[in-house]
Amino acid sequence: MVGQGDCSAGARGAAALSWWNFMLNLAPQPDWRPFLLALLGQRNATPDWQRHWQSGAEDVVGFLSRSAWSLALVALWRRELDRGRQICVWVPDYYCNSSLEPLRRLDVRLHFYPVTDELAPNYVKCREQARQFTPDLFVHVHYFGRPVPASRTREFCNHHGAWLIEDAAHVLCPIGDVGKEGDFVLYSPHKLLAMPAGAVLVVRPDGSSRLGKEMLRCLGAPPTWPRQLAAWDTGYKWMQRVRAGGAAWVVKRLLQKLGVRSRPSAQPFDDTYPPAPVVLPSPTVSIYAIRLLALAVPRLTEVARWRERNLMLMDELLSDRADLRLIPVMHPGGQKWVPYIASYEAPNAEAAYLVMRQSGLPAATWPDLPPEVVAQPKEHSVAIRLRAQRIYLPIHQSLRASTLFRGLASATSPTNRNVVKIGWNTWDRQQWDEWMRLAETSNLLQSWSYGEAKAVVGGWKVRRGVIFGPQGPLACVQVLQKQVGGLMTMTRINRGPLFFHDTSPELRAAALLALSRTLGGWYKGHVLSWAPELALNGRSLVMLEQCGVRQFSTNSWETSLIDLHQDEIQLRTQLAGRWRNMLTIAQRQEVIVECLNDETSFEVLLMHCLDMLRGKQVNFPADLYRELRRQLILAQTPGMLLAIRAGGEIISAIWVVRHGNTATYLLGWSGTQGRRWNAHYLLLWDAMLRLKRLGVNGFDTGGIDDENTSGIAAFKLGLGGVRCSLVGEGWCY
């Protein structure tokens, strides 16, 4: 696990694919900007970027070249505390043997405890084995980026007086409960980011053993940690021959970025052959690597999103490969964790592995099991079986959908766009509203009123189309177009098309392809910017690639949808506990919620929203909102402006707009008195009940942004709706 530069013994030393093949590299490639800035000596201006690996304010963070050295350093500290006694280190049997090389040279007793099929410690076996081998250090691993609960491990360590080490080498940075139980936490940023070396060792005073600040001072300051390893005589001359400098890495990455590739080496599936000599760099991490790490910190969220998307796409593409018969494992699903690598099982993993390697895919196996584990197949049956059944592929952030699609898509016939037809601009407002009501879900951006408002305020030309299949209408789509320089037509589709119920995946793909071919194509003088109304999943990513849509950003629309088919009791029950409590307090105030649709009240809300966002570098389209309201009034659907007044003045207000069978929470503001009365809780609750009585089926909370407005996001999620993420925006040209 720790200290391993790539994902398997079988992948050690394997190069990227030849340049004439698709560029599915094993390791992430650095972008040009940080690559050059680090060479020029520039760093991130943020002075406390190390905090991204802290789980608590008192945690101490240090850097070494590999996590294998971090593990060895902790063992050195424990041995010194025990006055040189040979210590016992418990390591899971599903673990990289090469990562244990420094520990073996330190002459510790290694005990390999069994793991379960879920890759958690087998606590029943651990308790039995502790009668014979008392642990001094216990290594608890979070495999492939997925958090493995460590509370039971903490109890086990406390019972035996062992230090708990959380091995999070596959984890990008602390998430969930990762790093909150251990006395020491190991991260390996060099495995997930584009950098030549770099491991993070976190020492925690309030971890499982409660080491305390005094013990941390005894361990020395982080800059001294490489020197402490240097003072370790046994084996240090051997390790010092290989430096952790980045010169070779820089040259290799530069050649790869310029298109130079070497052929992949043949790697056997079975690793029972004699292991290759393990050579680790010096414990000291290079200045260049530290600079790259500092420059990468602001992009950690983007890195995580690209990895999640690539895993979704790869799983979808490989599910169609009948020749491989792969089953995805270790997938985040609805959980929030960042995948390190794509993991698969197969009925015949070795045969699938050989097919993948022969076709140019850099398939890998993991781990190179320790010989003690291989020698005892009965005691370590789960680890040996997992090693024999699983195959891994890279999903790092420098891979793009087009690369994965070319390399992994099965040879199936392409989607036929000719099975659908598009009818344009033959609809009036009433007919368009009917199409919107037929949609599975509707949104404000595809409404007639929004299109007219954009035409007035932004100078866009509006086109509205309905896509027909062999059996009738499939979807409706509103398109905005504008001439650029008199030569190119810029087309924008925002959250469309809206598909009707029971449209098959094949017809959806054909409809999307027809739209892209009709509205895109630089050779025709058309550029299409497209954010389709598709959920973020592997199938949607495949359809975008089939349409020639290129995505250069992971930004996408996220929101929470509330099903208003539920009765009032159900709606209240699904509220978060705090949300429900705040609502109860607001209702005790005996305030009156008023529906005020006059222009003066709307301007009051608009001005307060402007004041609230002033200085936050947020574009607030006040003129667009005014025009949208005017268009809604023309359609006799002015929206719902709910407000609470005190002393004749509005102290809190929201604006909700209806479209089709859905409504969206668009604007909201609360003053000091409104916040004191929890007025916003009452307004939103009242809005949902009013919409329900009007026959509206769904309530869109109006967007969620966990990063920039985490407080607002938590407030909206407290309504208990279903969180939804769309596939995001791309370009078709």
- CATH number, domain containing residue 249: 3.40.640.10
Residues 424 and 388 grouped into a single domain: no
Query: Does residue 145 lie within any of the structural domains?
Result: yes
Q: Dump pLDDT digits (tens) for 178-237.
A: 999 999 999 999 999 999 989 999 999 999 999 999 999 999 999 999 989 888 754 444
Among 20-29, 233-242, 464-473, the minimum mean pLDDT is found in 233-242
- Whose tokens are 């197969």? That residue is 346
Give the per-residue pLDDT at 262.
65
Residue 508 pLDDT greater than 70, yes or no? yes
Q: Dump pLDDT digits (tens) for 67-89.
A: 999 999 999 999 999 988 899 99
Tell me the DSSP string of 80-101: HHTTTPPPEEEEESSS-SGGGH
Residue 18 pLDDT greater than 60, yes or no? no
Query: Does residue 15 lie within any of the structural domains?
Result: no
The two structure tokens encoding residue 524: 């025709």
Q: Which residues pair with 498 in a beta bridge?
A: 476
Residues 514 and 653 grouped into a single domain: no
Give the per-residue pLDDT at 362.
86
Cα 37 to chain center, whole Å?
A: 26
Residue 685 pLDDT greater than 90, yes or no? yes
Q: Which residues pair with 91 in a beta bridge?
A: 112
Q: DSSP letter for 497, please.
A: -
Residues 476 and 602 grouped into a single domain: no
Residues 582 and 476 grouped into a single domain: no
Residues 429 and 337 grouped into a single domain: no
Query: Does residue 8 lie within any of the structural domains?
Result: no
346/311 Cα distance (integer angstroms) = 17
Q: Dump pLDDT digits (tens) for 405-435.
A: 888 887 655 667 788 999 998 889 999 999 9
Cis peptide before 367 (omega within 30 of 0): yes
Query: Does residue 9 lie within any of the structural domains?
Result: no
Nearest to 30 by CA among 192, 263, 242, 144: 192
Residue 582 pLDDT greater than 60, yes or no? yes
Question: For the purposes of burial, counting CB atoms within 10 Å of the CB of 439, is it exposed (0-12), middle (13-18) or buried (19 or more)?
Answer: buried
- Whose tokens are 């902790």? That residue is 74
Look at residues 548, 581, 613 and tell me which one is the last residue of a structural domain. Answer: 548
Q: What percent of the chain has a predicted confidence (pLDDT) above 90?
A: 67
Give the per-residue pLDDT at 10.
33
Residue 445 pLDDT greater than 60, yes or no? yes
3-state class of 438 per DSSP?
A: helix
Residue 451 pLDDT greater than 70, yes or no? yes
Assign 53 a pLDDT band (cuts: 50, 70, 90): very high
Query: Does residue 199 lie within any of the structural domains?
Result: yes
Q: What's the alpha-carbon Rg for the chain, to the nearest Å?
A: 29
Beginning with the edge strand found earlier in the chain, give each strand of the sheet holding 327-329 in spatial order.
Answer: 327-329, 342-345, 390-393
Q: Dump pLDDT digits (tens) for 351-388.
A: 999 998 888 888 999 999 999 999 999 999 999 999 99
Q: Say if strands 593-595 and 640-646 run parallel, antiparallel, or are unpaired.
A: antiparallel
Give the per-residue pLDDT at 48.
74
Q: Which residues contact 637 (CB under 8 A, 6 or more apart)?
A: 449, 658
Assign 11 a pLDDT band (cuts: 50, 70, 90): very low
Residues 470 and 399 grouped into a single domain: no
Residues 512 and 495 grouped into a single domain: yes
Residues 441 and 511 grouped into a single domain: yes
Residues 663 and 718 grouped into a single domain: yes
Give the per-residue pLDDT at 408.
85
Instruction: Tell me the CATH number at 468.
Output: 3.40.630.30
Cα 722 to chain center, whole Å?
A: 18
357/577 Cα distance (integer angstroms) = 52
Residue 50 pLDDT greater than 50, yes or no? yes
What range does the domain containing 648 cover? 559-725
134/109 Cα distance (integer angstroms) = 11
Give the per-residue pLDDT at 265.
65
Look at residues 489, 517, 548 and tell me which one is the last residue of a structural domain. Answer: 548
Give the per-residue pLDDT at 16.
32
Nearest to 541 by CA among 341, 733, 727, 348: 727
154/163 Cα distance (integer angstroms) = 9
Residues 163 and 232 grouped into a single domain: yes
Average pLDDT over the chain reads: 88
pLDDT average, residue stretch 100-126 = 94
Cis peptide before 497 (omega within 30 of 0): yes
Query: Does residue 135 lie within any of the structural domains?
Result: yes
Give the per-residue pLDDT at 277.
65
Query: Does residue 348 lie within any of the structural domains?
Result: yes
Residues 580 and 719 grouped into a single domain: yes
Query: Does residue 267 lie within any of the structural domains?
Result: no
pLDDT average, residue stretch 319-341 = 85
Give the per-residue pLDDT at 244.
45
Give the per-residue pLDDT at 387.
94
Are 698 and 662 spatial neighbours (Cβ–Cβ below 8 Å)?
A: yes
Give the per-residue pLDDT at 589.
87
Instruction: Tell me the CATH number at 335.
Output: 3.90.1150.10
Residues 483 and 621 grouped into a single domain: no
Look at residues 223, 257, 291 and tell me which one is the last residue of a structural domain. Answer: 257
Assign 403 a pLDDT band (cuts: 50, 70, 90): confident
When divided into structural domains, the chain yields a total of 4
152/500 Cα distance (integer angstroms) = 49
Assign 273 a pLDDT band (cuts: 50, 70, 90): low
The two structure tokens encoding residue 242: 């290989």
Among 257-261, 341-345, 402-406, the minimum mean pLDDT is found in 257-261
Are 190 and 199 spatial neighbours (Cβ–Cβ below 8 Å)?
A: yes
71/177 Cα distance (integer angstroms) = 21
Number of H helices, E strands in the chain: 27, 24
CA atoms 300, 305, 310, 312: torsion sign: positive
Q: Name the helix (H) or strand (E) containing 290.
A: helix 287-296
